[in-house]
Amino acid sequence: MTLLLLALCLQFPRSQHGSVTQHIQGTEVTISYNRPVARGRELFGSLVRWGRIWHPGADSVSTISFSKDVVIDGHALAAGRYSLWTIPEAAPKPWTMIFNRGLGGWHTNYPGESQDALRLSVAPETGPHMETLTYYFPLVDADSAVLRLQWGTMVVPMKIKVTQ
């Protein structure tokens, strides 16, 4: 019995931790998050409801940090660390991406609009199925990069530009 309890305590969580860091013209961008897995579930419009604030990750809140000021899809954002939230919408409506100053807590506890540093509209795209939620940089130029959030066939791209 004791060994069974010990084995249960030592199991890894189903949503593993991940992080990605990209340097853009001397600016460091780091996303830290836990990675839920689709496991055959219907994701958007079911598990993730349309029109409701959702944390794109699992367990503890996902964060993004910038070592210098940046511009995301034409909107200025000060250097710092932010929690990531989104309001997904059914096509053809754009999604709202939220960069929030509230960092602590669980993925279900949105800190509120008063803590939002930036809200922007992003047109989602479709792509090949991605079983595990992933943030990645498929395109990096001298002064900008495209950050993509992808899960299932949903892809949410954001262009990050360095201004300094």
More confident residue, 12 or 37: 37
For 4-24, write each residue's pLDDT tens digit.
Answer: 444 444 555 567 899 999 999
Asked if residues 55 and 108 have their Cβ atoms less than 8 Å apart, the reply is yes
The pLDDT score that the predictor gives to residue 11 is: 58
Give yes or no for a contact between 72 and 118, defined as CB atoms under 8 angstroms apart: yes
Residue 137's identity, in one-letter code, is F
What DSSP designation does 10 have? T
Q: Which residue has the tokens 């940089």?
A: 137
Mean pLDDT of 26-36: 97
pLDDT of residue 109: 83
Query: What pLDDT, in 10s, does the model give residues 61-111?
Result: 999 999 999 999 999 999 999 999 999 999 999 999 999 999 877 666 889
